[in-house]
Structure 1
Amino acid sequence: MEPQKDTRSLILSTGRRLTAKRGYTGVGLSDLLKEAGVPKGSFYHYFPSKEAYGCAVLDDFIQEYNARLGSSLRQPEMDARTRFLAYFEDWHRNQVSPNPEDRCLVVRLSAEVADLSPTMSRILQQGVIGIVEHLANTLEEGVADGTIGPLGDPSAMAETIYHMWLGASLVASLSHDDASLKSAMRATQELIPRL
Structure 2
Amino acid sequence: MPTQHTPPTRDTRQDILDAAQIIISGKGFAAVGLNEILSAAGVPKGSFYHYFQSKDAFGEALLESYFDAYLKALDTLLQTPGLTEGERLMLYWRKWVDTQTNGDPEGKCLAVKLGAEVSDLSEPMRKVLLRGTSAVIERLSGAMKNGIADGSVKIAGEPGQIAEMLYQTWLGASLLAKIARDAQPLLSALATTKRILGKLGE
Partner of 1:54: 59
Indicate the structure with greater helix content.
1
Between the two proteins, the alignment pairs up a number of residues equal to: 193
Alignment map for 1:6-45 (pairs within 5 Å): 6-45=11-50
Whole-Å separation in 2 of the counterparts to 1:91 and 1:151:
23
Whole-Å separation in 2 of the counterparts to 1:150 and 1:3:
49
Offset at residue 87 of structure 1 (A): 0.3
- Where does structure 1 differ by over 3 angstroms across 4 or more consecutive aligned residues? none
TM-score by length of 1: 0.94
Amino acid at match of 2:165: T
Offset at residue 40 of structure 1 (A): 4.1
Partner of 2:159: 154
| Aligned counterpart for 2:184 among listed residues 179, 183, 186 | 179
Alignment map for 1:59-78 (pairs within 5 Å): 59-78=64-83
| Aligned counterpart for 2:126 among listed residues 102, 121, 129 | 121
**Which deviates more from structure 2 when the two are superposed, residues 162-171 or residues 38-47?**
38-47
Identity of aligned residues (%): 39
Partner of 2:145: 140
Whole-Å separation in 1 of the counterparts to 2:155 and 2:164:
17
Whole-Å separation in 1 of the counterparts to 2:133 and 2:155:
24
Whole-Å separation in 1 of the counterparts to 2:186 and 2:64:
26
Indicate conservation of the 8 Å contact 1:97/1:103, yes or no: no
In structure 2, stretches of 5+ residues that fail to align are: 1-6
Amino acid at match of 2:49: Y
Partner of 1:105: 110
Offset at residue 34 of structure 1 (A): 2.2
RMSD between aligned alpha carbons? 1.5
Partner of 1:188: 193
Offset at residue 41 of structure 1 (A): 4.8
Offset at residue 172 of structure 1 (A): 0.2
Indicate conservation of the 8 Å contact 1:17/1:101, yes or no: yes
- Structure 1 SS opposite 2:9: helix
Amino acid at match of 1:34: S
| Aligned counterpart for 1:87 among listed residues 70, 92, 108 | 92
Offset at residue 101 of structure 1 (A): 1.2
Whole-Å separation in 2 of the counterparts to 1:172 and 1:106:
15
